[in-house]
Structure 1
Amino acid sequence: MKNPIYINDSSVVSPLAPSGFGSLMTAIKSLETGLVAPIQQAHELQLTALRNESKWYKQLDRSVILAMLAARELKISSNRIGINIGSSRGATGVWEESFSCFSKNGKATTQSSPLTTLGNISTWIAQDLGIDAAAFSHSITCATASHAVLNAIAWLESDMVDEFIVGGAEAPLTPFTIAQMKALRIYATQKNDFPCRALDLEKSENTMVLGEAAACFTLSKKEAQKSIAQITGYGTAIEQLSSATSLSVNGKCLQDSMKRALKHTSLDEVDAIITHSPGTIKGDQAEFNAIKEVFGTSYPVLCNNKWQVGHTLGASSAMSIAMAIEMFSKKKVFKIPYLDDSFTNPRGEKVVPKKVLINATGFGGNAVSLLLEAL
């Protein structure tokens, strides 16, 4: 990137307690549907209150309400603004309810179509904030939020807008969505202190867990007094598939996306990598192999948050951006409690993070890497 893009504000609705990503506790719980990471109770109460504000809001999918709740906390300073909040699954809850109704009586509800379109996440945010914006949504599976950032960079650098709201939202804790993940045989089954063991390369079974969350950010091309971080590099890649969910053994797409994001940055300058690693045996190993291919054995500190909040699908890389911002603010790299420092920090240094690389991958063999820097 010739010029950085500035992150001016951040807002997160998630399973995390107020202590944030720095906590050594997981928010994953065992409920009737299985192991999941629902949003914390304080956010649940806010979500209920928001729904009750309008008859329209009561009909909206939970993913839309989560995104609206997060976006309300952002400070908007421009009249020329864009909105791109993505989601992997979109209106999961409303879809399942609508299909259940159709299965029973052969008829769809009147509002089933407008309430299940993916674009209504961003448009309802515009409606709720009362702003006239270029608003659109998209899905590129688990790299969705990172692609929203890439879209924003393009709009900002072309001067089509002055400010952009980006992020991701996901509410996948529904019976059918969880059943889909279990059908792939990647879902966690062990109810212990850390059900999702992301980046644990010694695990003998898959340990992915679904979580729900929304995270939103405001971006601009010009640094503001309120700017909290900057994006200084990005890379995208896609690799040939051997199956619908595959990733090559050495994570070729991640190798390429990381190299492209670091085109103008020395590898020694990268302090930490927030990995995508969802807790699956093959996925975690492939990403680690990719990191070693790019950095060698003296790689940056490895971080992850899926062991805390589960895999929030389209919101997952937005959660990683929020984690990087919190690490910059607290001037520390957050540990993974069940892994040895010798593995996660092979350089053996006490790190005050200034440059953090964020990885995201999704079905279809796509990968995005973003380089964030502290201000």
Structure 2
Amino acid sequence: MKNPISISSIGTISPLGKTSEEIWKNYLSDDHFFHLRGAGRDASWMGNLPEAIQKDVAQLRNENSKYRHLDESVLYAILAGRDAVKDLSLSNNNAGINIGSSRGATRLFEKYHEEYLQTGRASTYSSPSTTLGNISSWVAQDLQINGPEFSHSVTCSTGMHSILNAIAWIQSGMANNFLAGGSEAPLTGFTLAQMKAMKIYATENIDFPCRSLDMDKSRNSMILSEGAGIVTLSANEDLGTLASIKGIGFANEKLKHGASLSKNGKCLQKSMKMAMGDITEKEIDVVVMHAPGTIGGDLSEVNAVKKVFLGKLPAITSNKWKTGHSFAASGILSLQMAILMLQKQQFLPVPFSEFKQQPDKIENILVNSVGFGGNAVSILIGRN
């Protein structure tokens, strides 16, 4: 990228909390943030939001009657949006919003469909409250931002695709600033059942149930979690800069089936090389991996990194062993992890992974995201 884009702020809510201090403290621990819900065959590992954030969600419903009929995916985005802009002065007419979701209003979809099956009638709120675009529109209403607002869904890489789209708007001159990210509330019966039907969900009751970047695992171990993440992007540093986006990459690959990814992660190879541009492999200090904890997904991405970095591998890490997979929001949480490592100048390894190599410095970090459909996004960030 000839003109780097500033990341002016980031607001997230996740199992790790919501303040940067709390999140960093939890990253430094060797604990995961999952809970086992249910019993027997119905037991499921989940990454729930902390009780304090759940209280914030309940308070949000009570503070405005219009929010009572909204799905949690919308409420999570509102909370993350408020946090992202709390210290900024945005120009209403020049700020856009693109907050996507992979699954959307999961709880309300299931609720309203069940009501329809029982009564043959649809609720008045069933359509407007489950429309995907309702995430960005309600965030815009809450923050009183009048710029362009829309949402999209590109499976698990949705949040990172939102950033790509925001950069295109900014570089075209159609917006000065953009809020971009993803929000997900997937801990519902049908959504969990879908993941289990694919045989990719964690089933073992062990110390670290999500084995992200454990290359010796014999079982899939993905775990779903709740979360939302929003970044504020700017073409200049007027709003301040946490980090700079130096490069962006995106790619897809030919599919064998809807959830497939090639053995050597061809789409990830392409996206990483595109994001790096003229920067050499030796200048990349860390790669924050998507690494969902599945056997095939983790292996494919590691193979892609090995193909791109033919000499010495950079330091490799991921956060899904600790936070779980929050679909659209997951890429933003990975980006936040990278920003924190840049700020603190401290690498965060996966405790049980073979990839424990410490970087000599932390100046350039690649962040990967990949989703169903063989689509990948890589974003290169660096220190100011």
TM-score, scaled relative to structure 1: 0.96
Q: Distance in 1 between matches of 2:336 and 2:238?
A: 19
CA contact (8 A) 1:331 1:353 kept: yes
Report deviation, 1:337: 1.0
Report deviation, 1:29: 1.0
1:30 to 14, 33, 36: 36
Q: Does 1:11 align with 2:11?
A: yes
| Corresponding residue for residue 198 of structure 1 | 212
Which whole-Å deviations, capped at 9, do the CAs of 1:170-191 have from their partners, x for residues lacking one? 0000000000000000000112
Q: Distance in 2 between matches of 1:76 and 1:281?
A: 45
| Corresponding residue for residue 27 of structure 2 | 21
Give identity over the alignment, percent: 46
Q: Does 1:57 align with 2:67?
A: yes
Secondary structure in 2 matching 1:214: strand
1:220 to 227, 231, 234: 234
| Corresponding residue for residue 86 of structure 1 | 100
| Corresponding residue for residue 2 of structure 1 | 2
Are residues 4 and 358 of structure 1, via their aligned partners in 2, closer, same or farther at CA, if it must alter by over 3 Å?
Answer: same
Q: Distance in 2 between matches of 1:304 and 1:76?
A: 33
Which whole-Å deviations, capped at 9, do the CAs of 1:40-91 have from their partners, x for residues lacking one? 1111111111111112111100000000001011234223110001110011
1:308 to 322, 327, 349: 322
Report deviation, 1:296: 2.0
| Corresponding residue for residue 77 of structure 1 | 90
| Corresponding residue for residue 41 of structure 1 | 51
Letter matched to residue 310 of structure 1: G
Q: Does 1:325 align with 2:339?
A: yes
Which whole-Å deviations, capped at 9, do the CAs of 1:192-215 have from their partners, x for residues lacking one? 221000011100000000011001
Which whole-Å deviations, capped at 9, do the CAs of 1:3-46 have from their partners, x for residues lacking one? 10000011110101522433321101101251000111111111
2:197 to 145, 164, 183: 183
| Corresponding residue for residue 365 of structure 2 | 356
Letter matched to residue 26 of structure 1: H
Q: Distance in 2 between matches of 1:248 and 1:121?
A: 33
Report deviation, 1:350: 4.5
Q: Distance in 2 between matches of 1:135 and 1:24?
A: 39
CA contact (8 A) 1:68 1:124 kept: yes
Q: Distance in 2 between matches of 1:285 and 1:6?
A: 32
Q: Distance in 1 between matches of 2:322 and 2:26?
A: 10
Secondary structure in 2 matching 1:59: coil
| Corresponding residue for residue 137 of structure 1 | 151
Count of aligned pairs: 370
Are residues 225 and 120 of structure 1, via their aligned partners in 2, closer, same or farther at CA, if it must alter by over 3 Å?
Answer: closer
Letter matched to residue 45 of structure 1: K
| Corresponding residue for residue 78 of structure 2 | 68
Q: Distance in 1 between matches of 2:239 and 2:249?
A: 28
CA contact (8 A) 1:228 1:325 kept: yes
Q: Distance in 2 between matches of 1:184 and 1:323?
A: 28
1:290 to 300, 304, 310: 304
TM-score, scaled relative to structure 2: 0.94
Q: Distance in 2 between matches of 1:94 and 1:205?
A: 32
Q: How does 1:159-308 map to 2 (within 5 A)?
A: 159-224=173-238, 226-296=240-310, 298-308=312-322
Q: Distance in 2 between matches of 1:70 and 1:76?
A: 16
Please give the root-mean-square deviation of Cα atoms over the aligned residues, in Å.
Answer: 1.2
Letter matched to residue 55 of structure 2: L
Q: Spell out structure 1 runs of 4+ moving beyond 6 A.
A: none
Q: Mean alpha-carbon deviation: is it higher for 96-105 or for 71-80?
A: 71-80
Gaps (5+ residues) in structure 2?
Answer: none
Report deviation, 1:352: 3.6
Letter matched to residue 144 of structure 1: T
Letter matched to residue 198 of structure 2: L
Report deviation, 1:297: 5.1
Report deviation, 1:264: 1.7
| Corresponding residue for residue 371 of structure 1 | 380
